[in-house]
Amino acid sequence: MKNLFSVEGKVTVVTGGSRGIGLMIARGFVENGAKVYVSSRKADACDKAAAELSKLGTCISVPADVGTEAGAKALTAAVAARESAVHVLVNNAGANWGAPLAEYPDEAWDKVLAVNLKSVFHLTRAMLDLLVKGAKPGDPARVINIGSIDGLRAPILETYAYSASKAGVHHLTRVLAQQLASRNITVNAIAPGPFESKMMAETLRNFRDAIVGSCPLGRIGEPEDMAGTTIFLASRAGAYLTGTVIPVDGGISTRG
């Protein structure tokens, strides 16, 4: 029981790992002894994040654009060149687009669905062989998808493609969980509420007091909240969960 939450030595891939929630997750795994590959579309940002995290443990930069199927395959090939197995895949890469209903462009749907939803499918499929090799009896390989509470309930802001894509991530999580259980791979999702990130920066700048006021726990999420939930799902403590969507939102989603 003493190692119930250990992720030490686990090969972990985190997309969108150069900033925001992805960086919070990557840092948590590195600090707890995992070997972490961080990926993001911008090579400079990815390299910078990996260099920073390498001061705390083992972190390798693998830039890739997972918004395309080719990018997902390229990332997988880069990891496979270094590792024979992957124990944890965190599908965190995300994009947002806000605009009034009458002006909401079709390109927003293409971009947001490609990064937020299609990338989860493409990368999980591409890394399937590595995940199967990383699975052990009683310690399955883990796929952890980052959704959003905006995929659980309708948001106030006009982020149509984002909300729809995150709802899709939650349901794709359930579908993949059912399909991959026989291969000893669990698939779960986390639905974050408000956290300090580039994506949330403008919203928090304009609505911080209202958001905090709507949160039963009365605060914005902190890095430990996100890292802790992800590590739980990746550790022995979370080995019997699959197909779940866990809101990490201070209780906001309980208010509908």
Other C-beta atoms closer than 10 Å to the C-beta of 173 total: 26
* pLDDT tens readout for residues 105-150: 999 999 999 999 999 999 999 999 999 999 998 999 999 999 999 9
**Does pLDDT of 256 surpass 70?**
no
b/e burial code for range 118-149 (CB count within 10 A of at least 16 → b): bbbbbbbebbbebbeebbeeeebbbbbbbbbb
Residues annotated as catalytic (active site), given as ranges = 162
Considering only residues 209 and 197, tell me which one the structure prediction assigns the higher pLDDT: 209
Homologous superfamily, domain 11-248: NAD(P)-binding Rossmann-like Domain (3.40.50.720)
Q: Rounded to whole angstroms, what are the CA distances from 116 to 75, 193, 240?
A: 16, 16, 26
Q: Structural domain boundaries of the chain? A: 11-248
The rounded mean pLDDT for the chain is 95
Angstrom distance (rounded) from CA 101 to CA 240: 42
Looking at residue 144, its pLDDT comes to: 98
Please compute the mean of the pLDDT values over residues 202-220 and round it to a whole number: 85
